[in-house]
A and B are shown apart, each in its own frame.
Chain A
Amino acid sequence: MLKARVIPCLDVDRGRIVKGVNFIDLVDAGDPVEQAKIYDEAGADELCFLDITATHENRDTIYEVVRQTAEQCFMPLTVGGGVRTIEDIRKLLLAGADKVSINTTAVHDPEFVRIAANKFGSQCIVVAVDAKSNSLGGQEVFTHGGRKPTGINAIEWAERMAEYGAGEILLTSMDRDGTKKGFNIPLTRSIADSINIPVIASGGVGTLDHMVEGIIEGHAAAVLAASIFHFGIYSIGEAKAYMAESGVPIRLTRVVKE
């Protein structure tokens, strides 16, 4: 049967990992390629790079990171952050990314998603939806890392993006992001149940039970987490073993330790 996916995410700024990592066996703890290899060997189901480089001039570094990672890791790789043009997508795919994640540009120009999906195929177009509760009690789409409200309802937005040809929705609850309180389960479930494409739950993982909840109760197809893996609180192997014990269909791999 199809397995739920565990996806570690790395924030990359000018070619370096931003959040502190402290793995003793790393030659260079800030090197995303080194970290990608560790996750690959540990049996991560996919890998996600989020390029947070602010200036356009420094964007070339992400292509180099993707290129080097794709040479050494034979697993699916998603790259998000700053994807604005068809040319950006083409360059990332040619560098070795399998999927690109589009966020702000989709909000500004929804047709961009349709064009990108037609050109490259839905399988490589992920639409990232950053949702936050608004004063009316609804879930609203925000851009710019949760700073700019858009007035768009998150559930309707996810449905529209699926209709436009997105292959997957990467759903982040901005209320939960960084809180370690777990995913926003009602939101995740509402979106997962209303669209026919996979939803990746993101934002708020603090414990392994949260990852289980994301799949079992949130109906997500995949869970994405950054800090619990970055800081070595849990390894990928521990997370997957725990999820499997808790009844989540998980791909367990033999971890090769040298």
Chain B
Amino acid sequence: MSIAIVDYGSGNLRSVEKALQRVVDEANSVEKVFITRDAALVAKADRIVLPGVGAFADCQSGLFSLDGMVDALREAVQMRGQPFLGICVGMQLLANRGLEYGSTPGLSWISGDVVRITPADKSLKVPHMGWNQLVFKENSHPVLEGLPESAHVYFVHSFALRCHISSDVIASVNYGNNITAVVGRDNVIGTQFHPEKSQMNGIKILSNFIKWTP
């Protein structure tokens, strides 16, 4: 069993790796956590994590320029149905397109656009940075199970995924307006916040993810 963290030159891969390693150890699981830029390894992985920090266009170009990586992700996630977790820009990349520095196509696994946050209350700062609370939908998701009500998680972003299909939104967060916090469909889930930086609530989410059998 293996959990691949996709390295496309973005993000704090080490934090994600250490947090996943911790939940694997705690679960006495034998899953192997590894960071890779090798499309062949991603295509064969049992679970895939796509992290990401920075600008959408930069991350997109990093990911799409890795030889065979997008095809490998499609094969593993869309054809073989392996559990997939996108984090922050890694979640935003699921959209049809990002509108940060022009328009850039995403993976189009979750229908929607990545747009700048514009809080109606002008005193609210952008980036949305810090600890904010999740607003869950009525139907719970296995990856969010066991979290306290209105769980605090750590956000840092200036853009957000606006979904075209409301059932793709699993949880939201209020920051002047409602912002998508968690998206999901079938074997794909994505968090706008950083579970690897969200102390115990984040650890709980990762721990659920490694046990998730969609």
Contacts and interface: CB of A to CB of B under 8 A. Distances in A.
**How many residues of B sit at the interface, in one of the four size bands?**
35 or more
Contacts of A70: 14-15, 18
Interface in B134-189: 152, 154-158, 174-175
A198 B15 contact: no
Interface residues of A, number: 34
A94 B12 CA distance: 7
Given A40-B199, A74-B196, A251-B152, A121 B53 contact: yes
The secondary-structure label for the interface of chain A is loop
A25 B138 CA distance: 44
A221 interface: yes
A23 interface: no
B203 A74 contact: yes
Nearest to B129: A198
Contacts of A1: 132-133, 174-175
The secondary-structure label for the interface of chain B is mixed
A98 B15 contact: yes
Contacts of B12: 93, 96-98
B126 A197 contact: yes
Given A96-B14, A96-B15, A123-B156, A253 B129 contact: no
A57 to B, nearest CB: 24
Contacts of A24: none
A5 B129 CA distance: 10
- Of A93, A123, A196, A221, most buried by chain B (CB within 10 Å of CB) is A123
A198 B130 CA distance: 10
A136 interface: no
A71 interface: yes
B214 interface: no
Contacts of B158: 122-123
Closest A-B pairs by Cβ, 6 of them: A121-B54, A251-B131, A123-B156, A3-B131, A251-B152, A2-B132
Interface of B: 12, 14-15, 18-19, 22, 53-55, 58, 124-133, 152, 154-158, 174-175, 194, 196-200, 202-203
